[in-house]
C-alpha cells in the first residue's frame, strides 16, 4: 500500500525567505504534489495561498495546522521549475518566495483571469425549423439565418452567421426568444495571432558551415554522454543564417516528441521571430512576453502547460515555460544586457537557461555575432562546444564596407563639431535617390542632452536625481530618464532670466528633426522608447519599413539587432563615443563593440552591397577599430588580456551590494553595519571596494551607495549577505545584492 507524506513545506507570498510546515489532511494526501497551490491558515483567522515546495515525514514544530484545500484553477508548477526557483533564490540572493513567484505570469498566479467564452447558436429542432421556413416565406431574414444554421451541424457563432447572411443581430435574438434557436456558452482561447496570415516555409539546404553546426547540435541532442557539456555557442556573423540552424535543430527535437524554448532579448524582436517560427511550425508555437494582455498571457501559458504546443518563443520570462519534456533552449543574441532583470530576482536569463538545461538534461544553444566575453572564453576553454558561421548564408552577400569618420576633422573655423559629417549626409541622399533604405543609429533619445544657461552657468537638473534633465521638443518638456519626472521647458533661464538658454547634445528626436529639414519629402520614422510606447507600434513601424514605405529609420539600440531588411544598404552611426567611457563600467568597451557590430550588420543583407559609416572623435579606439574590421576574435583577445590582468569576469565573479535611502548619512551607516556583519564570510583573495556613492548618486530622491566584491569564491559571502539582508527588521534603508551585475549604475 502506498504511503503518503504527512507534512508539506510551503512558501507564502510574503518575501520572508522562509518555508512553513503544514499537516496534510488525509482526504488531500493522495492528490497533493510539489508545485501545487494550496490554501493554508496563516495568522489570526486569515487564509492565504501558498505553493508546496517539498514534503516531509516529520517537522521540528509541534501542533501543525492543516492545509485547508487545493486551489482550484491554479496549475501546479513542474518539479524541475520549483528546483530552478530554489537555485535562483540562492544564487541571486533573493527570497525564495520571490523566485518562485517569478516562475509564473501574474495572470496565471493570481487566478483572476477567467476563461473567455463565446455564444454558439443551434437550431432548436430540425423538423420545426424546416416547417417554419416553409410556412413563413416572407420572413426572409429569419429564414436566411435558420437555413444557415441548418448547414452548420455543430452550431455557429453570431459573427459567422451574420457575416454569411448579412442580417442584423436583432433578428438572431428574436429567433432565440421564439425558441427556434437555442444557445450554448463555449470556452475559447484568446489568440494573439488572430487575423495574422502566415505563409508556410520549408527547411533550406544548409551551407557547409550550417551543416557542420547542425551535426554538432544533433550529436549533442542525441548522443551526449553523462557529464559532457550541454551548451553550444553558435558564433555566426550577422546574416550568416543562425535562425535557420535554430529552426532545423528544433525540428529534430520535435521529431522525437520533445519541446523547445526560444529566447529573444527584447519584445521588439518577438513579432519577427514568432513569424519565422510559426511559418515553419504553425500552431505548435506559443508566444510568451509582457506585451500580451493578461488574458492572452494566461491562455498562451496554459497551451504550454497542457502540452498543446511544443515551442515557446518570447523574451526573458519565456524561459520559465512549464514544459516537462524539454530538449532545447535557444538564447538568441546571448550577449544582450536585456537578459539581466533589474528587480528581484536579478537573474540573467542566459545563465539561468544554462542551469535549467543542466537540470532537465536539455541542450542549450547560445547564439550571437558578438558573444559575451564570458561565453566565448567558456567556448575557448572547452566548457562550451563551439560552432562557427564565418560567412553570410548567401556567399555572394559580403559583409558591408565600414568607414570611420574622425569628426574632429569636420570641425568649422570656430572648432564646433557638427552633428553629421558631409559623407553621412551624402550617403543617405544617394540611397534615397536609388530607392534604397538607410538606418541611422544614436543610442540617446530625446532632442538634447541638457539645457544650460551660458550667462550664469545654470544647468537644468532633476530635483530628485543627480542627473541633468533631457529636453524633448515635441511636447516642450524636460524629463528625467531615471525617475521619469517631467516639467515644462522654460523659455528663459529660471535663475538669471537670460533668454540665451542653450540645448546641448543630440538625441534621436533632434536627428529626426534635422533630417526632416535636410531631406524634404523623405519618409522618416523614429524608434526609441519615447515613440514605441506599446508593442503594436513596433510591428507597425517595422512592417512599414519592410514594405519600403519608410526611407530612413532613426533609432536607439532597439534597431541595432535581429532585424533583417534586404533593402537597407546604408547604416550611419551618429556618435560612436557615447558608451565608450562610462565611469566604473568595465564592460563599456565590450558593449560598444557589440552595438557597433550589431547595427553595422543591418546593412547589405540583400543583393546590394552595404555600407556603414561610423562617426567618432576617438577613431583609434580598439572597440571601433575591431568593429570596423568585423574582427570579433581580435577584440576578444585584447579584452580578455585586460580582464585576466584585473581579475574581472570571466576570471572571477562580481557582486554589487546596493544601499539606498532618503538620508545619506543613515544609508552609509547601514552600509558599514552590514559590512561589519559579513566580513567573516569574505574568502581570502576576494577584492572588496568599501561602500561609496554610486555612479548616479541620487535617484528618485534616494541616495545610493554600493559595495563591490570580486573573486572566485563568493558562495559563502553570497549567503551571508542574503542572511544579513533578511535578518533586518523593516528599516529606512533598502539593501539588495546584484550577483553578476551588468551595470554599475
Give 46-69 pLDDT, tens digit per residue: 899 999 999 998 999 988 999 999
Return the H-helix or E-strand segment holding 688: strand 687-699
457/378 Cα distance (integer angstroms): 50
- Strand, coil or helix: 231: strand
The CA distance from 301 to 108, in Å, is 8
Beta strands in 4-163 (DSSP E): 7-12, 20-23, 37-41, 47-56, 69-70, 116-123, 156-157
Name the 3-class secondary structure at 244: helix
Q: What is the CA radius of gyration of the chain?
A: 30
To the nearest whole percent, how much of the chain has pLDDT over 70? 98
Which residues lie closer than 8 Å to 18 by C-beta, 6 or more apart? 96
pLDDT of amino acid 99 = 94
- The answer on pLDDT for 589 being more than 80 is yes
Q: How are strands ordered across the β-sheet holding 687-699?
A: 687-699, 702-711, 653-661, 734-739
For strands 181-188 and 116-123, give the pairing.
antiparallel
Say how far apart CA 517 and CA 58 lie, in whole Å.
Answer: 77
Q: Taking 50 as the threshold, does the pLDDT of residue 1 lie above it?
A: no
3-state secondary structure of 443: coil
Alpha-carbon span 202 to 474, nearest angstrom = 46
Is residue 376 predicted with pLDDT exceeding 90? yes
- 239 by Cβ neighbours in 10 Å (0-12 / 13-18 / 19+) ranks as buried
Contact 538, 271 (CB under 8 A): yes
DSSP β-ladder status, 568-573 and 437-441: parallel
Is 659:667 a contact under the CB 8 Å cutoff?
Answer: yes
Domain range 401-448+505-643, CATH architecture = 3-Layer(aba) Sandwich (3.40)
As a whole number of angstroms, the distance between CA 248 and CA 207 comes to 13
Q: Which CATH number is 653-739 given? A: 3.30.70.600
For residue 233, what pLDDT is reported? 98
Looking at the chain, the domain(s) classified CATH 3.30.70.600 span 653-739
With 90 as the cut, is the pLDDT of residue 529 above it?
no
Mean pLDDT of 4-23: 89
Q: What is the CATH number of domain 208-389?
A: 3.40.50.300
Distance CA 562, CA 203 (A): 20
Q: Which pLDDT band holds residue 563 (cuts at 50, 70, 90)?
A: confident
- CATH 3.40.1440.60 maps onto the chain at 7-109
Q: What is the pLDDT of residues 448-466, one digit of tens each?
A: 999 999 999 999 999 999 9
pLDDT 10s digits, 257-310 = 999 999 998 776 677 788 889 999 998 999 987 777 888 888 889 899 999 999
User: 0.95 cut: is pTM over it?
Assistant: no
Residue 557 to residue 563: CA distance in whole angstroms: 11
**Interior angle at CA 254, CA 251 and CA 260, nearest 5:** 90
The residues near 321 (Cβ < 8 Å, ≥ 6 apart) are 261, 286, 288, 301, 304, 312, 314
Instruction: Read off the pLDDT band of 562 (50, 70, 90).
Output: low
Residue 159 pLDDT: 80
Ramachandran class of 361: left when φ > 0, alpha when ψ lies in -120 to 50, beta otherwise: left
Q: Is the Cβ–Cβ distance between 288 and 297 less than 8 Å? A: yes
Lowest mean pLDDT among 171-175, 379-383, 673-677: 171-175
Q: Which of 320, 218, 210, 303 is nearest to 261 (CA)?
A: 320
CATH 3.40.50.300 positions along the chain are 208-389, 401-448+505-643
Instruction: Decide: 507 and 448 in contact? Cβ < 8 Å.
Output: yes
- The neighbouring-strand residues paired with 365 are 232, 330
Element at 676 (helix H, strand E): helix 664-678
Question: Which residues sit opposite 340 in a β-bridge?
Answer: 348
CATH for 7-109 is: 3.40.1440.60
Grid coordinates 496554459 are at which residue?
302
Neighbouring-strand partners of residue 616: 406
Average pLDDT, the chain: 91
- The pLDDT-based confidence of 4 (bands split at 50, 70, 90) is low
Range of weakest confidence among 169-183, 622-636, 688-702: 169-183
Q: What is the mean predicted confidence (pLDDT) over 410-421?
A: 89
How does residue 84 score in pLDDT terms, banded at 50, 70 and 90?
Answer: very high
Please tell me what DSSP assigns to residue 466.
Answer: S
How sure is the predictor about 367, in pLDDT bands with cuts at 50, 70 and 90?
A: very high
129-158: average pLDDT? 85
**pLDDT for 194-249, tens place per residue?**
666 777 889 999 999 999 999 999 999 988 887 788 999 999 998 899 999 999 99
Residue reference for cell 515546495: 53
Confidence of residue 498 (pLDDT cuts 50, 70, 90): very high
Amino acid at each position: 500500500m502506498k504511503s503518503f507524506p504527512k507534512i508539506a513545506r510551503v512558501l507564502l507570498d510574503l518575501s520572508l525567505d522562509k518555508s512553513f510546515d503544514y499537516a496534510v489532511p488525509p482526504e488531500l494526501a493522495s492528490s497533493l504534489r510539489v508545485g501545487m497551490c494550496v490554501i493554508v491558515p496563516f495568522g489570526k483567522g486569515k487564509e492565504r495561498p501558498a505553493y508546496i515546495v517539498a514534503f516531509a515525514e516529520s517537522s521540528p514544530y509541534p501542533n501543525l495546522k492543516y492545509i485547508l484545500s487545493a486551489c482550484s484553477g491554479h496549475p501546479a508548477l513542474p518539479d524541475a521549475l520549483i528546483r530552478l526557483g530554489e537555485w535562483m533564490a540562492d544564487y541571486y540572493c533573493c527570497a525564495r518566495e520571490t523566485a518562485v513567484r517569478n516562475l509564473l505570469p501574474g495572470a496565471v498566479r493570481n487566478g483572476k483571469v477567467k476563461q473567455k467564452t463565446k455564444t454558439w447558436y443551434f437550431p432548436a429542432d430540425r423538423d420545426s425549423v424546416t416547417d417554419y421556413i416553409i410556412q413563413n416565406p416572407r420572413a426572409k431574414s429569419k429564414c436566411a439565418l435558420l437555413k444557415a444554421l441548418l448547414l452548420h451541424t455543430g452550431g455557429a457563432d453570431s459573427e459567422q452567421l451574420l457575416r454569411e447572411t448579412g442580417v442584423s443581430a436583432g433578428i438572431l435574438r428574436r429567433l432565440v426568444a421564439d425558441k427556434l434557436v437555442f444557445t450554448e456558452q463555449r470556452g475559447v482561447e484568446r489568440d494573439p495571432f488572430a487575423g495574422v496570415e502566415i505563409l508556410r516555409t520549408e527547411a533550406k539546404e544548409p551551407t557547409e558551415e550550417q551543416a557542420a553546426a547542425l551535426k554538432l547540435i544533433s550529436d549533442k541532442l542525441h548522443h551526449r554522454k553523462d557529464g559532457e557539456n550541454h551548451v553550444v555557442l553558435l558564433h555566426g556573423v550577422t546574416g550568416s543564417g543562425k535562425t535557420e540552424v535554430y529552426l532545423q535543430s528544433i525540428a529534430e527535437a520535435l521529431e522525437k516528441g520533445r519541446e523547445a524554448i526560444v529566447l529573444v532579448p527584447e519584445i521588439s524582436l518577438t513579432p519577427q521571430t514568432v513569424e519565422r517560427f510559426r511559418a515553419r511550425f504553425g500552431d505548435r508555437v506559443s508566444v510568451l512576453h509582457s506585451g500580451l494582455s493578461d488574458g492572452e498571457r494566461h491562455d498562451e501559458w496554459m497551451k504550454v502547460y497542457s502540452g498543446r504546443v511544443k515551442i515557446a518563443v518570447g523574451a526573458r520570462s519565456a524561459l520559465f515555460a512549464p514544459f516537462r519534456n524539454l530538449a532545447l533552449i535557444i538564447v538568441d543574441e546571448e550577449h544582450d544586457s536585456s537578459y539581466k532583470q533589474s528587480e528581484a530576482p536579478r537573474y540573467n536569463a542566459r545563465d539561468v537557461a544554462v542551469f535549467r538545461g543542466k537540470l532537465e538534461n536539455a541542450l542549450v544553444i547560445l547564439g550571437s555575432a558578438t558573444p559575451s566575453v564570458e561565453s566565448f572564453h567558456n567556448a575557448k576553454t572547452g566548457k562550451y562546444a563551439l560552432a562557427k558561421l564565418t560567412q553570410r548564408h548567401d556567399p555572394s552577400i559580403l559583409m558591408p564596407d565600414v568607414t570611420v569618420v574622425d569628426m574632429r576633422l569636420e570641425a568649422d573655423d570656430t572648432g564646433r563639431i557638427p552633428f553629421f559629417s558631409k559623407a553621412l549626409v551624402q550617403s543617405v541622399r544617394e540611397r534615397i535617390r536609388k530607392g534604397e533604405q538607410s538606418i541611422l543609429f544614436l543610442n540617446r533619445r530625446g532632442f538634447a542632452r541638457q539645457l544650460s544657461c551660458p550667462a550664469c552657468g545654470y544647468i537644468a537638473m532633476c530635483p530628485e536625481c543627480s542627473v541633468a534633465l533631457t529636453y524633448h521638443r515635441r511636447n516642450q518638456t524636460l524629463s528625467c530618464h531615471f525617475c521619469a519626472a517631467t516639467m515644462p521647458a522654460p523659455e528663459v533661464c529660471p535663475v538669471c532670466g537670460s533668454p540665451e538658454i542653450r540645448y546641448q547634445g543630440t538625441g534621436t528626436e533632434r536627428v529626426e528633426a534635422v533630417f526632416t529639414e535636410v531631406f524634404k519629402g523623405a519618409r522618416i520614422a523614429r524608434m526609441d522608447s519615447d515613440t514605441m510606447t506599446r508593442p503594436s507600434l513596433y510591428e507597425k513601424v517595422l512592417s512599414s519599413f519592410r514594405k519600403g514605405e519608410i526611407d530612413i529609420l532613426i533609432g536607439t539600440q532597439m534597431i541595432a539587432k535581429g532585424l533583417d531588411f534586404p533593402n537597407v544598404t546604408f547604416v550611419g552611426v551618429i556618435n560612436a563615443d557615447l558608451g565608450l567611457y562610462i565611469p566604473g563600467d568595465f564592460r563599456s568597451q565590450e558593449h560598444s563593440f557589440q552595438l557597433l557590430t550589431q547595427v553595422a550588420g543591418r546593412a547589405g543583407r540583400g543583393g546590394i552591397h552595404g555600407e556603414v559609416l561610423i562617426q567618432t572623435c576617438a577613431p583609434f579606439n580598439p572597440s571601433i577599430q575591431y568593429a570596423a574590421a568585423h574582427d570579433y576574435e581580435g577584440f576578444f583577445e585584447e579584452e580578455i588580456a585586460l580582464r585576466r590582468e584585473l581579475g574581472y569576469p570571466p576570471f572571477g565573479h562580481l557582486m554589487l551590494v546596493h544601499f539606498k535611502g532618503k538620508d545619506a548619512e543613515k544609508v552609509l551607516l547601514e552600509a558599514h553595519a552590514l559590512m561589519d556583519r559579513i566580513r567573516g564570510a569574505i574568502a581570502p583573495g576576494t577584492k572588496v571596494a568599501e561602500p561609496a556613492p554610486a555612479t548616479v548618486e541620487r535617484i528618485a530622491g534616494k541616495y545610493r551607495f554600493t559595495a563591490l566584491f570580486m573573486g572566485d569564491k563568493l558562495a559563502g559571502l553570497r549567503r551571508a549577505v542574503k542572511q544579513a539582508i533578511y535578518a533586518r527588521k523593516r528599516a529606512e534603508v533598502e539593501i539588495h545584492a546584484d550577483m553578476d551585475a551588468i551595470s554599475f549604475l
